[in-house]
Amino acid sequence: MCGIAGAFDVERAFFVLHDLLLHLQHRGQESVGIVMDNFTSIKGHGLVKEVLTEKSFIEGHTGIGHVRYSTVGGPEEIQPLVGYTGKGKLAIAHNGTIPDASHRRETFLERGAVFSTTVDSELFLHYVSIAPFEDSLESVLWALQTVPAAYSLLVLNEDFMIGARDPYGYRPLFWGKYDGGYVLASEDSALVVLGASDITEVERGQVIILEKGKSPKIQKLSVDRPGRFCVFEYIYFARPDSNLGGINVHKARFEMGRWLYKEHKIQADIVIPVLDSGLSGALGFSSESGIPMDFGLMRNRYMGRTFIMPTDRKSSVRKKLIPIPEVVKGKDVVLIDDSIVRGSTMGVIVSMLREAGARKVIVGIHSPPVKYPCFYGIDTATRRELIASDHTVEEIRETIGADELFYLSIEGLIKAVGREDVCLACLNGHYDTWVPEVDSGV
């Protein structure tokens, strides 16, 4: 769960990268980094606006950046990673995960390498350093061939910037023209808001090569694999105004809401979206069902930790969402959200609606239950705690205290998205690469 951005040959690239990363902030809030082509850099834990301030401005026309969801360890683990290799100094920004990273790392250590981080992405630097070429560009391409998945990757040195997607296309990547140069970002919406033109999706297996004073070159990795774009980008990860594979994310969620009702013809008085994650789906559900939507849960403009916490009120949900008793009192409500992770948040929301007087609380989720770990870029540490991995829908319903609970089917999801070349591994357990043995649930 990361976002990556690149700026090539533009004025004040720091500001451009700042803006792109700001628009990708939803992809990662724990750490931010920028490295310029002279390898000056800014890195820090926290949000883009906290780390990349005007005071931390660094000069330069070309650079890459990274936001990350969960960063273990000290500041040295924050991307972009920088290394001095036999082919020169190099910086990389990586979105995705290498499933067999630990085996690959072991091999390097046996031959006397020194790793400076625990991050799987550091492997790319070592592959470049041992690549059987003098030329650094050749070496990078060789490294990309050597690691089949999962990556959307930016590589930078003093001479060139490379943007690449693995042959499966697990993670998104876009590029466009800007200010006489080029910009790259995980989502097209970041490029749109910046004001870039000729915005194009980097295809799976494609490598964009930007060299100073030359036209961009586009190359294709020789390895071929089936398309496996992460379906969770549509469900909850990407911004609603992004268009991934030509499909608008808000629209896709609206359709998921519609297909959810088509599969579950529920009776209720009102549809209530969980703000903001369930908004698009709830609208689709209401539109298809004819059940009116109302805002039984409003968003609190000013959040903050409260100190007074009666039993069971510990969830931050209670500060984020305000129930409106006048809306829900005595009604059968259908609550719509995009997914259930651990179930605790949904449990609190259901309680809040009951306390506010709802007669019946029915929960509809516009995606299928997530049962298997992801090895391609969604934080597995979190996934291990997934309630659906070892509970039935009925057990989950009991846990969250709902009167009814229903999910969208995998088939419904594919119809709603309108695309079949997606990765469904976390939903059905079918992995397309070697993956570590999972301790439970499979």
Does 325 sit near its own copies (CB under 8 A)?
Answer: yes
User: Which residue reads 């500041």 in tokens?
Assistant: 75
Q: In the 8-state DSSP scheme, what is residue 251?
A: H
Does 289 sit near its own copies (CB under 8 A)?
Answer: no
Q: Give the three-state DSSP class for 185.
A: strand
Does 299 sit near its own copies (CB under 8 A)?
Answer: yes
Rule CB under 8 A: choose which of 45, 104, 251, 360 binds its own copies: 251
To its own copies, the closest distance from the beta carbon of 438 in angstroms equals 25
Does 125 sit near its own copies (CB under 8 A)?
Answer: yes
Residue 125: left if φ>0, alpha if ψ -120 to 50, beta else—which one? Answer: alpha
Counting Cβ atoms within 10 Å, is residue 91 exposed (0-12), middle (13-18) or buried (19+)? buried
To its own copies, the closest distance from the beta carbon of 377 in angstroms equals 20
C-alpha distances in angstroms, 71 versus 46, 75, 150, 238?
Answer: 10, 9, 18, 20
Does 276 sit near its own copies (CB under 8 A)?
Answer: yes
Subset of residues 362 to 401 that bind its own copies, contact rule: CB under 8 A: none
The candidate with the shortest Cα–Cα distance to 44, out of 34, 53, 55, 33, is 33
Subset of residues 179 to 218 that bind its own copies, contact rule: CB under 8 A: 189, 193-195
To its own copies, the closest distance from the beta carbon of 305 in angstroms equals 7
357 vs 174: CA distance, rounded Å: 47
Q: What is the DSSP string of 7-57?
A: EES-TTHHHHHHHHHHHTGGG--SEEEEEETT--EEEEES-HHHHS-GGG-
213: Cα separation from own chain's centroid = 33
Does 85 sit near its own copies (CB under 8 A)?
Answer: yes
- Would residue 230 show up in a list of annotated catalytic residues for this protein? no
Size of site (CB under 8 A) for its own copies = 77
To its own copies, the closest distance from the beta carbon of 398 in angstroms equals 26
Subset of residues 102 to 121 that bind its own copies, contact rule: CB under 8 A: 109-118
Facing residues of 271 across strands?
Answer: 293, 334
Does 345 sit near its own copies (CB under 8 A)?
Answer: no
To its own copies, the closest distance from the beta carbon of 75 in angstroms equals 5
Does 126 sit near its own copies (CB under 8 A)?
Answer: yes
Does 280 sit near its own copies (CB under 8 A)?
Answer: yes
Does 292 sit near its own copies (CB under 8 A)?
Answer: yes
To its own copies, the closest distance from the beta carbon of 86 in angstroms equals 4
Q: Token digits for 3?
A: 């976002």
Neighbours of 55 (CB within 10 A): 5
Does 290 sit near its own copies (CB under 8 A)?
Answer: no
In the bound state with its own copies, the residue whose beta carbon lies nearer, of 260 and 279, is: 279
The candidate with the shortest Cα–Cα distance to 260, out of 198, 337, 324, 323, is 337
Q: What is the DSSP string of 205-229?
A: TEEEEEETTS--EEEE-S------E
Which of these segments, 198-206, 260-268, 294-302, 338-346, binds its own copies (CB under 8 A)?
A: 294-302
Subset of residues 9 to 68 that bind its own copies, contact rule: CB under 8 A: 12, 15-16, 18-19, 22, 25-26, 29, 41, 43, 47-49, 54
The candidate with the shortest Cα–Cα distance to 186, out of 177, 174, 170, is 174
Which of these segments, 211-219, 322-330, 360-368, 377-385, binds its own copies (CB under 8 A)?
A: 322-330
Does 75 sit near its own copies (CB under 8 A)?
Answer: yes
Which of these segments, 94-102, 158-166, 290-298, 434-442, binds its own copies (CB under 8 A)?
A: 290-298
Q: Give the three-state DSSP class for 321.
A: strand
Does 294 sit near its own copies (CB under 8 A)?
Answer: yes
In the bound state with its own copies, the residue whose beta carbon lies nearer, of 125 and 396, is: 125
The catalytic site residues sit at 2
